[in-house]
Structure formats: structure tokens, C-alpha cells
Chain A
């Protein structure tokens, strides 16, 4: 029989359903049913690389908005240029990861940690998990008739362990019922929201998008997100023009790599004026921004340039 310490040391660190596997011969490798509190799954740990990139300090390059096709890497985001085939047959790894990244951001990630944070915890009503492992092992060796008594021990559990995916209830149902409980505690029944959605339109695009400004922490993240959203409206080939971009006039120029047109990201502020994005500190920006618009460079001539924007912000301060 394995000692308590040995059982503990065999607990795997990742939050995955570990197997209580008792092989009849050979070495025993016993795990338990702990759903561990470590919330990071494989997905988030491999994704941390991308997230770190986005959180880079704002630099000229980082605020530069570029366009490319799904699967291409914009020079602003990576130090090395990654030539990827356009129109990939299958979504590239980046797409796959970024879509799960999206899910993580929106709190909808379905991973192993999901079952740990639902309001109603699905508990294994046995005694301490390690003890339950011991029970199971023991039951292998005793006559069947006595199984019941062991499993139905009336002693209150010292600690409760969670089993991933058990009982087999869909996450959708679990989440919905969890929100039911939350709602009944709230005064007006509407879920509180700290989101700040603004519409984003682009010249030539058939419909608007919306972004939650509070889900980004700097211009770099916003530009990456917009780039991803609006790449489908561009045609032709992707390329790299990091160097060329740096030489352009303003750090907020959105460069359309594909047909050489310049696009500019602008926003409508509280006064109804259209300003160029990127000139004021981020916190101030999300405070005043009502709408975003990706304009053709030619149309943006005459828009508030940096000095006036700074003046405005000084007046507000």
C-alpha cells in the first residue's frame, strides 16, 4: 500500500483528469481525483507567449496598425518576419490559438479549470481524496459484499475533491444555472457589466463591428484586434513592410499592405470631433472615445493632429 506521501508526490501538476489506474502487474502509478486549483491549462501556458507580445510597451512599431490575412504575422507584432502562406487550407496554429485565446478573454474557455470555478461544485462525496484512492485499492482485495460499507462510510468528509466532467452535465447548463443564482441575488436582475463597447466602422466594409475597449490595456492590443477583425476586407497578398511603415508620417497610420492605400484609425470623442487615435494616453482615450472609424488616409486630412489633441486633453485635466 502506498503511503500518504507517495500518493501526494504522484499527483500530477497540470489540471487534467488524472487516472486512478491500478494495473495488475508492473509498477503502480496511482493518481487521485483532485481537480487542482492551478488554473492554467496547457492552452494558457502555451499561449502566454502571444499574450506577452501584445502586452509589450507601446512603441512606434506597436501602435502601427497593419493589415494582413488570417495566418499572416504583422511586423509590428513579431521581431522576425514570418512568411506564412495566405489562404491557408487549414487554420494555422496562430488562428487556432488566438481563437482559444479569444475564448479565454471572454471567460468562455472550456478547459479543465472550467469545472473548478462553477458556483455549484460537483463534489466527490467520499472522504479525503487520497483516502478514497486507498478505499478503491482496498476494495480490489476484499469480497464484494463488503464494498458497500466502505463506500458508504458515514464519517463526514474532511475535504472534498472534485472530479472533472462529473456528473456529466454540459458546461452550458452549469453556467446558465450558476447565473440563475447570481441573478436572484442582484437588485435589478441585469448582470453588471464593466464592458465598454464602441462601434468600429471601416470605409468599404459592409457592416460594423464592436469592440470592448476595456478588454485592452494599450493601443497595441487594440490595433491587433482591429487588424484581425478587418483583414477579411482586404485583398491580394500579404507582405512585410515594417521598415517602410516606420518612415511614414504618424504612428497611428494603418497601413494597408495589400493595395498600398493608407488607412487611418480615427475616433469620435465626447465633443463629437473626429481625432486621430494614438495621441493621448490610453486611459484618457477610453474615457473619451465614443466611436472608432478606419478611414482612408485621404479622407483623414485635416483631422485633429497631435498638438490639438494634446491641448484638448490638457483642458480636460
Chain B
């Protein structure tokens, strides 16, 4: 009796299974389930573009409609990865063009995208709908023109914090008059002006436009006429908020804002002048997301806005908000889930004592749904962290950046070990943690012991010895991404816990004490890992004991990558190099 589920039935069942995690499990059951699953998967996510080859992915998922790729390691955001390291999307686009021409959506993060790539996308995918590029680079506005002119059914075009060679605003005029399907447009990272008339015409024929993020060059005056053409917006990123407007223009703009009945998210607000803040009052009660992280206004002005945002769930702001402002946040924004406080730059040179750990304590006390925190602060205390942990055991993401390296608890002068201990002990669902300040090995013993759900961990200027790494690699069961800079350890812990690295997506270590010899040994021990040594000085003549500048280790099915620049070394470059006697402590 054939007990197998007919594949048509299985297909139908799988059409309800969205989560890729579940689909991965499905594909492990047996061969026929693997086959059925792979033929029906529409959304493919590859979180490390070098973990697998484009050809393999294209072969496995022929019906792919949406592809998400991530390239460079996270620390590339902070200039720790040299230019030219890699992350090129071209091979992926080529492979998809050949095998998956029905691809509709491409989402890329930290990848190098050239104009040729954009042209190839435009030429190869007839029904292309969604292009979202986050922290990407390598293309110019000409590439955008190619997308605009060719993708007749384009729905989303979003450039989030990309580095774009901006050679003119004409690209917007290439959207054909027949394009009416636009739902989301984000060109906030571009420098040059787009023609207002082009933009107005585009908005007039885009009744489904829900999200519009303008760049800084769009003046306040222009904003009024644009808003009138798109009152249905749910997300708005304004342009520069600083022209001098006459009374009539201000009244018109105020009216336009009040017409935005659906608005939930507001960002942009570059150079905002305090006298224009009242223009925003009408949309505040409806806002769930507010990004003031480029608004260089003082606490009193920020507070005026925030008191009116009682439904706010996500707030990004600069430390100009000060403790007093955060106290207002605490009392006004009871629905707050995510808080990010960025440094205004004033923090280090001039002491900005008005924002301290107290601000975060206020918010943790009063906002029951707070689960994600990114907080830049000059200094912190253990007591504050203990309080925060006690108040908010539901924290999922806690990233504390004490800006002064090695800064201890500023009241007791002790390391911040106990504070972070409280965080990992009480916040049982903590998935992401960034630590800073003065920390000893003890802190990492606590993290290893309690951080069982921790998936991503970022460490800088911390610890005393190899024990630190050992605690983490042996204790944190769910650890997926570990990134470390400027910590005094390396070889022993790395080699002892080599097997752990196979269960993680990646490990980054820069300016630590990992020796060249250990890298070689690790490479030989673990063939399923790519052990990349990224070092500007040539390695061939290096003694085994010399420390390397950076290592990036990731599991991969693809073997050594073919696009390594000179300054990236893996053992595949010199397989004949033996591992000499190592001075491992």
C-alpha cells in the first residue's frame, strides 16, 4: 500500500506554509517532500551570499519569485571591512536571469550593485516588481533610470542608506506614463534634486502609493504640493524641513498634513526648524513610527512633538532628547516597543551630561511593551542595568553602546559585569545583545551561562583572556552571529571550540590576538568553513605567531569564493603551506 501523500495534496498543504524555517524542516522529511517543497518555494532568503552558490539556489528553487540576499558582514557598516572585500550581486543576477526569469522581487543588504546589474535586472525579469537595496553601493542614478524605464509593473523601489553615485535627478523622469502600480518609493539617500514636475506627475498616477520617502533636496515648499497629490500615504519621509515659507505657504502645508488621515510613519525632517514643528501636530496621534534621528532640534521642541504621539511604537531620536525628554517619552508613549537613541556627536568632545543612563531607566519603567533598545550613552551604571532588566524581562534586543571604551560604572568604578549579568539573567528571550564599557571575563561567563536564546552578539574593547571567547562559544547554544573587535584573545578558545563554528552563520574578529598559524590550523581542521584572513599586509612571509588584523569565518557549501581580492587570504590560496609548530598558550 503506497502511504505517500500525493504530491498535489502536499503542494496544496505547503501553500499555507509561509515560514522558511518550517519549509526547511519539511524539506528534510524525505526525498519526495524535499522535491515538492523546493518546487513550490516562492520566497528564498540567503543570509550570507557566500554560503551557497547562485547556481545551486537557482537550480533548487525554479519557481522563485522573491530573493533576499545579504553580503558583507555587519561590521562593514562601521568601516571595518575594506573596500573591495566582496559581496557582488552580479553572479546572482546572472544565475537568476538564466534559471528563474519569473523573479519579481529582489532585496539586498550590504551588497555591491553596479549599473550593469540594474540593467540586467531590467532586461531579464519581465514582471519585476520590487527592488529594495539596503546599505548597498556601486551604482549610479543611471542604473535607477534603467529600472524605471523597463519595469512596467514596478511596485517598490527603495534605496535605504545606499551610497549612490548621483549624477543627476533625471532618472525619475524615466518612469513611463503607463506606470500606475507604484506602492513604495524611497530615494532618501540621493543627493541631487529631482524635477518636481516629474514627481508630481508620478504621484498623480500612483493611486496605490502608500510609502514615499523623499530626499533632502526636496524643499518644504514642494512638500505641500506633493502631499496634496498623495493624501493616502501611510509612510512619509520628508525632505529638508528648513525653507523660509510665507504665512500662506505655511497654512497650505499645515492643511496638507492634516489631510494625511492614514499616516502611520514619519521620517526625514532634516534640518527641521523649531518653528515648523507645529505643522506636524495633526499627524502625531496616528503615528506608530517616528524617526527624529536627523532632527537637530533641542529637547523642548522634541518633547512638544512626542507628547502628542500617544500611539507611538517605534521612536528613533538623537541624544539631544536628554533624560528629561525620555521622561516625557515614558509618560506619553505607553505603546512603545522600540527605542533607538543615536549620538548627536556632541557626546564626546563636549560632555552632554543631560543624557545619562537615567533616561533609559525611565522608559523601561513606564513602557510595558519595550522589547528593543539601541542606546548610545557616554557612560552607564550597573544599578541602572539591573533596574532596566528587572523592569523589562521581555527585552528581545538590547544594544548598549557606552561610547568611551573601557568605561567602568561611573558611580562605583567597577566593571559593568553585574549589569549585563542582570540583563541576560532576567531577559530570557534576549536574542540580540551588544555590550560595551569595562568588562572582564566574568561578564562573558554570565552571558554564556544565561544567554541561551542569544543569536547575535557584538563585543568591543572587552574581556581579559581566551576564557571570554570560550564562555561564549561553549555556553550560548543559539549563537548564530558573533562579532568582536579589539579584544585580547584568540587562538586557544577558537581552536577548542572549532566545532561550534559549524553551527553558526558567521564569526568576525578584528584587532584581536588571533595568530596566522591558528587560522591555518582552523582552516585545515574545518573544511566546511571559509576562514578568511583580511589583512592589508602580505601573509606569505608572516610567521605563524603573528596576529592577523581581521578574520571572518563562515560556514559554506560553496567552497572558497572566486572573487577574493588580494587582501583576503584563505588556505585555498596556499594549500601547500603546512602548519608549523605553533606557540599556542
A residues touching B (Cβ–Cβ < 8 Å)?
12, 14, 16-27, 29, 41-43, 46, 70, 89-91, 93, 95-97, 99-100, 102-103, 106, 108-112, 114-115, 120-125, 136, 140, 144-145, 147-149, 151-152, 163-173, 176-177, 180, 183-184, 189, 191, 197, 199, 206-212, 229, 232
Contact = CB atoms under 8 A, between A and B. Distances in A.
B88 A111 contact: no
Interface stretch (B72-80, B282-290, B365-373): B72-80
A138 to B, nearest CB: 12
A50 to B, nearest CB: 13
Given A111-B83, A171-B79, A17 B405 contact: no
Contact of B585 (A23, A95, A112, A124): A23
A148 B549 contact: no
A89 B91 contact: yes
Contact of A170 (B91, B161, B168): B161
A149 B293 CA distance: 34
A169 B191 CA distance: 20
B513 A19 contact: yes
Main secondary structure, interface of B, reads loop
Given A21-B547, A147-B438, A211-B167, A180 B77 contact: no
B243 A189 contact: yes
Contact of B406 (A24, A114, A151): A151
A27 B414 CA distance: 31
A104 to B, nearest CB: 8
Interface residues of B, number: 88
Given A26-B583, A108-B163, A165-B485, A170 B145 contact: no
Interface string B246-272: 000000000000000000000000110
B504 to A, nearest CB: 21
Interface stretch (B59-67, B221-229, B337-345, B523-531): B337-345
Interface string B362-394: 000000000000001000000000000000000
A147 B116 CA distance: 55
Contacts of A144: 414-415, 440
- Which of A109, A210, A212 has the largest number of chain B CB atoms within 10 A? A210
Given A21-B512, A102-B165, A164-B80, A147 B413 contact: yes
A180 B296 contact: yes
A98 to B, nearest CB: 10
A165 B461 CA distance: 12
A96 B563 contact: yes
B278 interface: no
A163 B405 contact: yes
10 contacts: A17-B485, A21-B547, A70-B116, A91-B90, A96-B563, A110-B137, A165-B78, A168-B78, A169-B376, A197-B167
Nearest to B434: A168
A89 B83 contact: no
A57 to B, nearest CB: 27
A166 B78 contact: yes
B88 A96 contact: yes
Given A96-B565, A168-B77, A21 B83 contact: no
A168 B401 contact: yes
A157 to B, nearest CB: 11
A91 B294 contact: no
A173 B165 contact: no
B17 to A, nearest CB: 34
